[in-house]
Structure 1
Amino acid sequence: MEQESLKSKTVKGIGWSFADNISGSGISFLVGLVLARLLTPNEYGLIGIITIFIAVFNSIVDSGFSNALIRKKNAGNIDYNTVFTFNLLLSIALFAVLYVCAPRISRFFYQPELVSLIRVMSIIIVINAFAIIQRTILVRKVDFKTQTKVSFIASMTSGVIGIGMAIGECGVWSLVGQQISRQLLNTLFLWVFNTWRPVLQFSIKSFRELFSFGWKLLVSSLIDTVWKEIYQVVIGKYYTTESLGQYTRAKQFCDIFSSNLTSVVQRVSYPVLSTIQGERERLKQAYKRVIKTTMLITFVCMLGLAAMAKSIILVLIGEQWLPAVVYLQIICFSAMFYPLHAINLNMLQVNGRSDLFLKLEVVKKVIAVGPLLLGIFVHVIWMLWGSVLVGFVSYYLNSYYSGRDLNYGIREQIKNIAPSFFIAGLMAIVVYALSFVPVSVFILLPVQLLVGTSVVVVVGEISKIEEYIEVKQIALSVIRKITSR
Structure 2
Amino acid sequence: MKEEDNLKEESINGFIWRTAQNVSAQVIGLVIQIVLARILLPSEYGLVSLNSVIITILNVIVQTGFTSSIIQKKEITEIDKSSMFYFSVSIGVIMYIIVFLCSPVVANFYDEPLLESVLRVQAISIVIISLYSVHNAIIMRNLDFKKNFIASLIGVFFQGFIGIGMALKGYGVWALVFGTLSLNIANCIAILIILKWRPKLLFSFKSIKGMVSFSSKILAGNLLNTIFNSSKTLVIGKVFNSAMVGYYNRGYLFPATMVTGIDGAMTTVLFSSLSRVQHDRSRFVNYLRKSMKTSLTVVTPLLCGMAAVSDPMIRFLLTDKWVSAVPFVMISCVICLFWPLTAKNQALNAVGRSGTNLLLNIMTKVVSLALLYLSIPFGVYVIVISSLIGDIISIAIYTVIISKYCSYSIKQQIMDVIPIYALGGFMFICTYGLSSVLIMNNFVKLCILIIFGAAIYVGVSYTFKMEGFMYILQLLRSKIKKSTE
TM range (shorter): over 0.9
Greater CA drift, 60-69 or 225-234: 60-69
Aligned to 2:351: 351
Q: CA separation in 2, counterparts of 1:182 and 1:481?
A: 35
Deviates more, 1:22-31 or 1:167-176: 22-31
Q: Does 1:209 align with 2:210?
A: yes
Give the superposition deviation at 1:301. Answer: 1.6
Deviations 1:416-450 (A, max 9, x none): 11111122111111111111122222111001110
- Secondary structure at the counterpart of residue 199 of structure 1: coil
Give 1:238's aligned amino acid. Answer: V
Decide which moves more: 152-161 or 472-481: 472-481
After the TM superposition, list the runs of 4 or more consecutive aligned residues in structure 1 that deviate by more than 6 angstroms: none
Q: Note the alpha carbon deviations across 1:24-72, whole angstroms, 9 max, x for none.
A: 2221111111111011101100110011110111122246322211010
1:235-273, Cα deviation, whole Å (9 max, x unpaired):
111101000001111111111111222211111111111
Aligned to 2:46: 45
Aligned-partner Cα distance in 1 for 2:477–2:247: 38
Say if 2:361 is the partner of 1:361.
yes
1:433-478 Cα deviation digits (max 9, x unpaired):
1111222221110011101111111101110022110122234455
Partner of 2:258: 257
Instruction: Please give the alpha-carbon distance, in whole angstroms, between the structure 1 residues aligned to 2:225 and 2:308.
Output: 28
CA distance in 1, matches of 2:68, 2:261: 18
Q: Counterpart amino acid of 1:274?
A: S
2:109 is aligned with 1:108 = yes
Report how many aligned residue pairs link the two structures: 483
Go from structure 1 to structure 2 and tell me whether the alpha carbon gap of 1:420 and 1:177 turns closer, same or farther (over 3 Å shift): same
Alpha-carbon distance in structure 1 between the residues aligned to 2:48 and 2:479: 37
Separation in structure 2 between the aligned mates of residue 480 and residue 187 of structure 1, nearest angstrom: 36
Matches within 5 A, 1:166-205: 166-205=167-206
Matching residue's letter, 2:422: F
Is the CA contact (8 Å cut-off) linking 2:300 and 2:420 kept in structure 1? yes
Alpha-carbon separation, structure 1, partners of 2:188 and 2:478:
32
Q: Displacement, 1:479?
A: 5.7
Could you give the per-residue CA deviations for residues 152-210 of structure 1, whole angstroms, max 9, x where no partner exists? 11111221111111111110100011100000100111000001101232212111111
The CA distance in 2 between the partners of 1:357 and 1:327, in whole Å, is 30
Deviation at 1:481, TM superposition (A): 6.9
CA contact (8 A) 2:375 2:386 kept: no
2:50/2:237 contact within 8 Å kept: yes
Return the letter of the residue paired with 2:420: S
Shift of 1:303: 1.3
Q: Is contact 1:296–1:417 with CA below 8 Å preserved after alignment?
A: no
Task: State the alpha-carbon separation in 2 of the partners of residues 154 and 50 from structure 1.
Answer: 21
Question: Matched residues in 2 for 1:49 and 1:480: separation?
Answer: 48
- Aligned residue for 1:79? 80
Partner of 2:323: 322
CA distance in 1, matches of 2:468, 2:329: 27
For 2:113, the aligned partner's letter is P
Unpaired segments of 5 or more residues in structure 2?
A: none
1:405, CA displacement in angstroms?
2.1
Indicate the residue corresponding to 2:455 in structure 1. 454
Q: What's the TM-score once normalised by structure 2's chain length? A: 0.97
| 1:292 corresponds to | 293
Report what 1:398 is aligned to: 398
Aligned residue for 1:257, secondary structure, equals helix
Q: CA RMSD in A?
A: 1.5
CA contact (8 A) 1:375 1:381 kept: no
Offset of residue 403 of structure 1: 2.7
Residues 301 and 454 in structure 2, CA contact (< 8 A), matched pair in contact too:
no
Q: Supply the distance in 1 between the matched residues of 2:3 and 2:10 (Cα, whole angstroms).
A: 10
Determine the structure 2 residue equivalent to 1:443.
444
Q: How many angstroms apart in 2 are the aligned matches of 1:480 and 1:169? A: 51
Question: CA, structure 1 residues 209+409, in 2 after alignment: closer, same or farther (shift >3 Å)?
Answer: same
Alignment of 1:48-447 (within 5 A): 48-62=49-63, 64-342=65-343, 344-436=344-436, 437-447=438-448
8 Å CA contact 2:281–2:407 kept in 1: the answer is: no
Secondary structure, counterpart of 1:74 in structure 2: coil
Looking at structure 2, the residues matched to 188 and 129 of structure 1 have their Cα atoms a distance apart, in angstroms, of 12
Q: Does structure 2 conserve the Cα–Cα contact (< 8 Å) formed by 1:63 and 1:215?
A: no
Give the 3-state SS of the residue equivalent to 2:113 in structure 1. Answer: coil
Q: Are the equivalent residues in 1 in contact too, given 2:347–2:406 (CA < 8 A)?
A: no
**Which residue of structure 2 lines up, in the alignment, with residue 24 of structure 1?**
25
Distance 2:43 2:481 in 1: 45
Distance in structure 2 (CA, Å) of the matches to 1:476 and 1:175:
41
Greater shift in the superposed pair: 469-478 or 413-422: 469-478
The CA distance in 1 between the partners of 2:42 and 2:342, in whole Å, is 31
State the shift of 1:145 in Å: 0.8
Superposed CA offset, 1:379-416 (max 9, x none): 11111111111111111112221232232133211101
Partner Cα separation in structure 2 for residue 325 and residue 123 of structure 1? 33
Matched residues, percent identical? 30
